[in-house]
Amino acid sequence: MKNKILLLIAAFAAIFNIQAQSADDTKVILITLDGFRWQELFTGADSLLVGNKDYVHEVDMLKEAFWKDTPAERRVALMPFFWNQVEKMGQIHGNRNLGSKVNLTNSMWFSYPGYNEILTGTADDARIRSNDKMQNPNTTILERFNNTSEGKGKVAAFGSWDVFPFIVNEKRSGVPVNAGFEVATGDLTEKEQFLNELQDQIPSPWGSVRLDAFTHHYALEHMKKEHPKLVFISYGETDDFAHDGDYQAYLKSAHNTDALIKDLWEFTQQDDYYKDQTVFMITTDHGRGTQPLDTWRGHGRDVKGAGQVWFVTFGKDVEAMGEVKQDEQLYSNQFAPTILKILGQPIPKEIKGTPLK
Ligand SMILES: [Zn+2]
């Protein structure tokens, strides 16, 4: 009898242990599209910009690709992965036309303060007031997770913008960051060697931001090789093409990024480590203007609407709500604590945002 009870206890312990392990096995991929407006995400190409010769070189070509009769068709044309697949399996928040709102809580409405808020869960208007290459005094969730036994060496960040090593405070946090024009280092795969070569040979239009294909493939190769549990990937082209006033390139870049995210999703679903265990969370660091029309190029506290953002999530245990069509108010400081919760980590008191359900 005593033996039987012991056996039963052992069996229960084994079951609970398996359950605990599977909860701890969740992986998170956090992705940002720099300065991509909710307006294009939810309604596709903008009628005031798509045929506007001030912002588009090849109007016919752009309209052929992205102009359709209705906003619903236009958004599918622009972001087919989001609107054909993610809408069925996940959640798309931020369509203000339907009452779903997502806002920044920082009042700066440009990149460093936006990424600081997304990655730490707390806006810091007192200290994060420029895009200068300043070591972040705040602690990101990448650093927090890297400082736990489960997360040690299982975190990585990739960005197109060369300020990310500072935002993540790579030095202090020990989180590896590949950003700007950095190459892959260490024991390189053939693809990484080729990417390193190409990055020199395909010049970026900008001084501090590389083309997103490099960021994407460095991240993907690292995931195949090292299997990090928490990955941050920041695509940057949309913001820079918008500042350039090039609406054609802005749309093509958004369309391409949609396909890159599909590529990541498909990789995770055929990889044993990530399959059915991975949550995707996608957002942007700030919005942009709409009126006057030229403010679509800019953002910052003087640009009306630049604090309006959006949020997309899908993957393990994410309820399939589709496009959210009811009144709600989410904030960008909620993503960091939500990720800690998903990873089974405590949420420190200094984090201002509250986790999403
Ligand atoms: Zn910008």
Tell me the pairing of strands 27-33 and 328-331: unpaired
Element (H, E) at 263: helix 247-269
Q: Separation of 259 CA from ligand 1 center, angstroms?
A: 22
Residues within 5 Å of ion ligand 1 by Cβ?
35, 239
How far is the C-alpha of 147 from the C-alpha of 144, rounded, in Å?
5
What are the structure tokens assigned to 166, written together? 């500072």
Model confidence at 5, pLDDT cuts 50, 70, 90, reads low
For 200-239, what is each residue's pLDDT tens digit?
999 999 999 999 999 999 999 999 999 999 999 999 999 9
Which segment of 1-10, 37-46, 244-253 scores lowest on mean pLDDT? Answer: 1-10
Element (H, E) at 66: helix 59-66
DSSP alpha helices (H): ranges in 235-334?
A: 237-243, 247-269
Q: Separation of 151 CA from ligand 1 center, angstroms?
A: 32
Q: Separation of 285 CA from ligand 1 center, angstroms?
A: 9
How far is the C-alpha of 235 from the C-alpha of 228, rounded, in Å?
19
CB atoms within 10 A of CB 350: 10
pLDDT of 22 > 60? The answer is: no
For 64-115, what is each residue's pLDDT tens digit?
999 999 999 999 999 999 999 999 999 999 999 999 999 999 999 999 999 9
Q: Which residue type, as a one-letter code, is found at position 140?
A: T
pTM, rounded to two decimals = 0.94
Q: Separation of 194 CA from ligand 1 center, angstroms?
A: 30
Model confidence at 9, pLDDT cuts 50, 70, 90, reads low
